[in-house]
Structure 1
Amino acid sequence: MKAVVFWIFYPLLWLLSVLPFRLLYIISDCCYFLIYRVIGYRKKTVRYNLRTSFPEKSEAELKSIERKFYSHLCDMFLEMIKSMNIKKKDLLERYQFANVEAITDYDQADQSTCLIMGHYASYEWVFALQLYVKHPGYAIYKKIKHKQFDNLIRDIRGRWNTFMVDSKEAMRTIQKLESEGKTGCYGFVADQSPRFHRAKYWTQFLGHELPFFTGVERIAQEFDLPVRYLGVEKVKRGYYVGTFQSLTTNGSQTEEGEITSAFAKALETQIRNRPEFYLWTHKRFKLLGKKEEVLAEIEARRNRNHT
């Protein structure tokens, strides 16, 4: 049944992907009216997240951010579909990097790097980086249960020497590549809220103490890799500029939590500057105020496993 649904929708997605950008954004405006005005997709979650993050802002200010966010969300969804057939020249024009040498220097020196970013501005077109480097990129992601859609995402993001790696296989895959002397850029979108039993490390983010995944940090420390934060800004509709920020040049020399906290701080700076471009539909605050309960349960589980 899932395969049937996919093949019903696939022709529509393909047709959308070959439309000119001007027409694509007209459709995005229509989607905005439907998703925001009619359906109200995850409005409660978005409003809770915004109020929790910006208690100092007025209702009018929060409503303005909310409207701009939904408009951007629809743009990004259509841009993801456009990725199926986007031309190289369009991608080079629309997704640029202010200091691409921060990555290409390591690439030319045959040294692997970790690239970390949040769900901010455009993370769908980040594979544009592969147009500047010679070594492959490895995007760490959570595998989609629907096989056909998962394969589609792999094909879209893998058009220019980018390989998708299931997050469950990330450590094993990177260990194999590094042991074989193969160089690559390991990309992570790492700002999701961990599940209850994985919420081991907490740091300040948007005015609250919240849990973060520490996978990037552990990989950088184990293989002594540099870590770059990619901050992407939306310049105008359909145009983005990414800037790399060094979080460490030697992962093995960092303290526990150092890389993760630096990532959280860099992402928060971006969000506070232009909050409408963050993915507010995520339940980022689902463990807010539960730190002691979560850590106690993790410790209890650890003790049970040792007995």
Structure 2
Amino acid sequence: MQFLIYIIVYPFLWSISKLPFRLLYIVSDGLYILLYHVIGYRKKVVNNNLKLVFPNKTEKEITTIRKKFYKHLCDMFLEMAKTMSISKKELKKRFKITNPEELKRLESLNKSVILIFGHYASWEWSIVLQNYINFKGLAVYKKLANQHFDKLVRDIRSKFNTQLISTKETTSIINHNEAKGIKSITGFLSDQSPRLSKDVYWNRFMGIKVPCFTGGERLAKKLDLTTAYLKVNKVKRGFYEAEIVTLAEDSNKYKDYELTDLFLKEVEKQIYKAPEYYFWTHKRWKHREKTL
């Protein structure tokens, strides 16, 4: 059944990827009408999230953000498919690193880098980073249940030589590379909700106390790596800019969870400035602390 679904969907994705951008966004406009107005894809989740973190906004303001978000979501879905056939030149034009000199400076420290970022603007096109660095590019991801789509995702995201590694093998691979003298820049999406456990770290994100993912920070401190934040902004439709924000050259000098807090504050600033570019379909606040 997994393969049947794959062979049905794959030709559609490939066809989408071959469309010129002008037509791609016309299709995206149609997809928006289908997802938002007809299907109502996760509209309840999005609405609940927005009302939770923006309690002082009016219904009209929430509706405006929600509609803008769905338009961005549809663009991003199709941009992910477009990655299947996009050229390196085109991707570098549409996803620019505004301070590549900071990447070079971090590499000059001769320490591997943990690059943490959130589900904001575009994280898929961050694979262009490999064209700016000499270190080995790694990206941590969660395996998909469908093995055929999992392979497709790995092929797409490793198109420009970034190596995808699963969450379970991250530590062993980085340890192996360090032992071999192979320096790397490893990307972590770190704003998701972790599994609950008795020792999970809780703090406020967008004003709500929630469990926080700390894997990037823990690995940086354990292996004495540099920690940085990839600050991605959407400039206009189909165009993004990313800034490298160094959080710690010596991660061990920071108290436990301090780097995680710095990262979350950076994401918060972006969300407050332009909330429509955050990934509101995620159930980020499902384990929030209950208040009386």
| TM-score between both structures, scaled by the size of structure 2 | 0.97
1: distance between equivalents of 2:284 and 2:198? Answer: 14
1: distance between equivalents of 2:136 and 2:171? Answer: 17
Answer with 206-215 or 113-122: which moved more.
206-215
Amino acid at match of 1:44: K
3-state SS in 2 of match to 1:186: strand
Encode CA deviations 1:61-101: one digit per residue, 9 max, x unaligned: 11000000000000000000000000111111100011122
Cα offset for 1:176? 1.2
Aligned to 1:196: 196
Aligned to 1:97: 97
State yes or no: 1:55 paired with 2:74. no
Aligned to 2:28: 28
3-state SS in 2 of match to 1:161: coil
Structure 1: 5+ residue runs without aligned partners? 292-307
Aligned to 1:67: 67
Aligned to 2:271: 271
Given that 1:17 and 1:83 are in contact with CA atoms closer than 8 Å, whether structure 2 keeps it comes out as: yes
Answer with 13-22 or 105-114: which moved more.
105-114
Amino acid at match of 2:145: K
Aligned to 1:304: none
1: distance between equivalents of 2:234 and 2:146? Answer: 31
Amino acid at match of 2:60: A
Given that 1:136 and 1:183 are in contact with CA atoms closer than 8 Å, whether structure 2 keeps it comes out as: yes
State yes or no: 1:45 paired with 2:49. no
Aligned to 1:300: none
Cα offset for 1:8? 1.7
Amino acid at match of 1:124: E
Same amino acid, percent of matched pairs: 47
Cα offset for 1:9? 1.5
State yes or no: 1:18 paired with 2:45. no
Encode CA deviations 1:100-136: one digit per residue, 9 max, x unaligned: 2222223355431110000000001000111111222
1: distance between equivalents of 2:245 and 2:129? Answer: 15
Aligned to 1:213: 213
2: distance between equivalents of 1:231 and 1:82? Answer: 22
1: distance between equivalents of 2:231 and 2:58? Answer: 27
Distance of aligned partners of 1:199 and 1:62 in 2 relative to their CA distance in 1, 3 Å threshold? farther
1: distance between equivalents of 2:100 and 2:202? Answer: 31
2: distance between equivalents of 1:15 and 1:45? Answer: 30
Q: After superposition, where does 1:244-283 map in structure 2 within 5 Å?
A: 244-283=244-283
Aligned to 2:77: 77
Cα offset for 1:198? 7.0
Q: How many matched pairs?
A: 291
1: distance between equivalents of 2:4 and 2:104? Answer: 43
Given that 1:199 and 1:213 are in contact with CA atoms closer than 8 Å, whether structure 2 keeps it comes out as: no
Encode CA deviations 1:190-244: one digit per residue, 9 max, x unaligned: 1111122277101121012111111111111011111111111100000000012
Cα offset for 1:290? 4.8
Encode CA deviations 1:10-44: one digit per residue, 9 max, x unaligned: 11111111110000000000000000000000011
Given that 2:136 and 2:182 are in contact with CA atoms closer than 8 Å, whether structure 1 keeps it comes out as: no
Amino acid at match of 1:152: L
1: distance between equivalents of 2:15 and 2:198? Answer: 41
2: distance between equivalents of 1:77 and 1:65? Answer: 18
Query: Any runs of at least 4 consecutive aligned residues in structure 1 with deviations exceeding 4 A, and if so which?
Result: none
Aligned to 1:135: 135
Distance of aligned partners of 1:109 and 1:251 in 2 relative to their CA distance in 1, 3 Å threshold? closer
Answer with 110-119 or 263-272: which moved more.
110-119
Structure 2: 5+ residue runs without aligned partners? none
2: distance between equivalents of 1:145 and 1:110? Answer: 37
| TM-score between both structures, scaled by the size of structure 1 | 0.92
3-state SS in 2 of match to 1:57: coil
